[in-house]
Amino acid sequence: MKYVNEVPKGRMGATFDALSLPRLQHEESMFIDEYCKAMNAVAKRLNILQGEQYMYMGVLQPTLQSLLRYQRSHPPLKYCTPLASSLQDAVKKRFSAVLEDANLALAAAVHPKLKLSWMTEVQKAVTLRLLEEECHALEAIFNENAAASERTDEDDVFFSVASILPFMLRGATMAQRSQN
């Protein structure tokens, strides 16, 4: 479709004439143009999400939000309005859990390229609060581990699996809680 849309109209008309086909009407050309505009946004976002080199969990929410924002801000379409609204509804329905996932928002917030730039002010406030909570929780765990290591002899920690087993079990328990 994109190729058909980019070919000069004179060449396209000559091609249709050579094939003894009726030429595209103005409305048909406009439909193709609108279709390409509507689907181009989806195709670009899919390329980002399917990328192997630069695709991280922190890219997922901003990419989907970008698609929804583009669809909302794009000027109204004359021929492809049902397509554009269906695409937007389908993305919201299929990815509603992803769009609301706090862990994915945190992943995007700490992504060096994205940070909080893609979020609304309300989302920024909520995500910053979650990030602060996570940092305080990690700090508490770090302080607890540091205090525990000060109480033991360095050689005992190095050679004794029993001394680090409680920390390993605690990590497994935390992982189990996050799965539930």
Q: Write down the domain spans for the chain.
A: 35-119, 120-180
Structure tokens belonging to residue 26: 């103005």
Q: Does an H or E element contain 167, and which? A: helix 161-179
Q: Does an H or E element contain 117, and which? A: none
**Residue 32 reports pLDDT greater than 70:** yes
Structure tokens belonging to residue 45: 């976002």
**Residue 6 reports pLDDT greater than 80:** no
Averaged confidence pLDDT in the chain: 81
| pTM of the predicted model as reported, rounded to 2 decimal places | 0.68
- Name the pLDDT band for 156 (thresholds 50, 70, 90): low
What are the helix (H) ranges across 8-159?
A: 9-18, 26-49, 57-73, 81-94, 96-100, 102-109, 121-151, 154-159
- Cβ atoms of 22 and 16 closer than 8 Å: yes
In this prediction, residue 172 carries a pLDDT of: 46
The percentage of the chain sitting over the pLDDT mark of 70, rounded to a whole number, equals: 79
- Cβ atoms of 99 and 65 closer than 8 Å: yes
Better-predicted residue by pLDDT, 156 or 26: 26
Tens-place pLDDT, residues 119-145: 889 999 999 999 888 888 888 888 877
- Name the pLDDT band for 12 (thresholds 50, 70, 90): confident
Average confidence (pLDDT) over 36-52: 88
In this prediction, residue 97 carries a pLDDT of: 95
Average confidence (pLDDT) over 3-9: 73
In this prediction, residue 1 carries a pLDDT of: 67
Give the distance between the most distant pair of CA atoms in the chain.
90
In this prediction, residue 147 carries a pLDDT of: 72
Q: 3-state class of 19 per DSSP?
A: coil
Spatial distance between the Cα atoms of 61 and 91, rounded to a whole number of angstroms: 12
Spatial distance between the Cα atoms of 50 and 43, rounded to a whole number of angstroms: 10
In this prediction, residue 176 carries a pLDDT of: 46
Which of 102, 100, 74 shows the shortest CA–CA distance to 88? 74
In this prediction, residue 61 carries a pLDDT of: 93
